[in-house]
Amino acid sequence: MVNNTAATKINDKNGLIFSVVLLLLVIICLAINYSIDQSINWSLYPAGALIVLWATVTPMLIMKKNKVIALFSGFAITLIPYLFLIQCLVPAKGWFIPLALPIAMLFLAALAISLLLFNNTRINKLYSAAVTVFLFGVAVNFAVEKIISGFLNGTNGDDIPVVLTISLSAIVSLILVVIGYTKKSKTTTKREG
């Protein structure tokens, strides 16, 4: 019981220190921006990014269980408002809903699946890595290409890098599956022999 209390205090202390450091960085950015321009404009970019960082990392520092769920939740909850903030700050408008939102949702879905796979102790880590490479390198990459082409009315230009990335990711994913299967077969053979 004493060890749990001591660990909780250390976790709380680390979370507090991290929060204070990020808060100071936000204040410094805002103060410099205001002292130069007598307004708050460009400093909202780093301030927003620091808030995303805080919401992602702090739960991992203070929680003892479900750290990955807390990390993902903090990141997912703050990413989309941060992207909306960027749209509000930049001169080009109208890209958040047709472009940023679907790409962010795809990325978050792939990240959630990958985190679930890596946290499941019954699944071979090589298989988890293969699925992650496939998700990000093939599925998300292909979908992002389609979203960008649709946003730009089909004038996205050269697709060779996308095709190359998708092809190489599929090959790497297949290699990881083969290596995982081979290692599993050798382990099974050793146990039986």
The residues spanned by each domain of the chain are 1-93, 95-193
Segment holding 97, helix H or strand E = none
Cβ neighbour number for residue 134 with a 10 Å cutoff = 20
The Cβ-side half-sphere exposure at 118, using a 13 Å CA radius, reads: 14
Is the model's pLDDT at 76 over the cut of 80?
yes
Q: How far is CA 54 from CA 18, 74, 101, in A?
A: 8, 8, 21
Is the model's pLDDT at 62 over the cut of 60?
yes
Looking at residues 46-57, what average pLDDT do you find? 96
Q: How confident is the model at residue 84 (pLDDT cuts 50, 70, 90)?
A: very high
82 in Cβ contact with 48 (< 8 Å): yes
Is the model's pLDDT at 5 over the cut of 90?
no
Is the model's pLDDT at 136 over the cut of 50?
yes
Looking at residues 142-166, what average pLDDT do you find? 85
Is the model's pLDDT at 1 over the cut of 50?
no
Q: What is the pLDDT of residues 168-185, one digit of tens each?
A: 999 999 999 999 999 887
The pTM (predicted TM-score) of the whole model is 0.82
d(C-alpha 45, C-alpha 38), whole Å: 17
